Amino acid sequence: VQRDDSRGGGFVGAGLVFVSLALVVASITVVFLSMRAVMEIGGVCAEGGPFVPRQPCPDGVPLLLVGGIWTGTIFAFAYVWQVVRLQVPNFAWALWPALFLSLGWNFLEYGLDPPGGEGVAWGWLVCAVVFFFMGLGPLLAALPAVWRTLSGAAPPPSPREAPRPPGARAVAATYRSIRESRPSASTTVAEPPAGATDASEGEPAGGGQPDDVVSALERLHYLHRTGAIDDAEYETAKDRILGGSS
Amino acid sequence: VSARAARWLVLQLVAIAAGIWFGVWLFDAVTT
């Protein structure tokens, strides 16, 4: 269902998307910079505890690291929730790769040129490789879908491919009979529910199993409740499903 | 890309830029 984002509710949704995405990106940025600050002093630091730390952390960095990770995680979920709810093109696919590729870059840069200047830090280079794989894997897997989304090259999977619910044939046959009985119905009757459009021609509407009949009645009730069919059409279709005479 | 999609993408690109700016600002403010 396409939601209308041009009205007031759209501004709220747009605001939530903006704020949540900005905070996720800010969190990744803070974690990226904090990690570099720690690597500048050798990659290990400590604070608190009963002992005097040999290498204290840079001011504020532990707070930024912990806060950034938690803030980023929470608002990443909020961002994904909003873009899924609003069904808008988004950058959710890029969050995980952005985090791991940026941190992997830190490992690569400081691994090739460690702060102490003692050649190459192999431990950090191994971390760089691991992080690049973790970031690139999902990115490469997501790229085709991202391209389809942005270019509109291929439609999403058709509802016809979905398993057809029980009773769909009965509803589709009833729907078709209503539509054919009204010359102008094509402009006034909504499309039937997904999965109810490919019923075979000529199948008796009321000849299904009991479960089919119940499902057909439920779907008919849905059409009536949503205003797709009026009271008379509802009664006619119900009688058909139940095998009535009218 | 439809006009609706383009509006959303621009909004989010601005959010990304704002997020980077805010992250750098916050890091500098806390660590200095």
Interface of A with B in 76-105 (CB under 8 A): 88-91
Confidence class for position B29, pLDDT limits 50, 70, 90: very high
Does A10 score more than 90 pLDDT? no
Task: Tell me the two tokens of residue A114.
Answer: 């460690």
Instruction: State pLDDT tens for residues A122-165.
Output: 889 999 999 999 999 989 988 888 887 777 665 555 555 555 55
Q: How far apart, in Å, do the first and last CA atoms of chain B sit? A: 44
Task: Tell me the two tokens of residue A99.
Answer: 């985090």
Alpha carbon distances (Å) from A29 to A65, A77, A99: 10, 17, 9
Chain A residue at shortest CA distance from B21: A26
Instruction: State pLDDT tens for residues A26-38.
Output: 999 999 999 999 9
> What is the percentage of chain A residues whose pLDDT exceeds 90?
36
ipTM of the complex as predicted: 0.96
Confidence class for position B4, pLDDT limits 50, 70, 90: confident
> Which residue among A17, A64, A88 places its CB closest to the CB of B27?
A64
Interface test with chain B among A30, A57, A86, A151, by most B beta carbons within 10 Å? A30
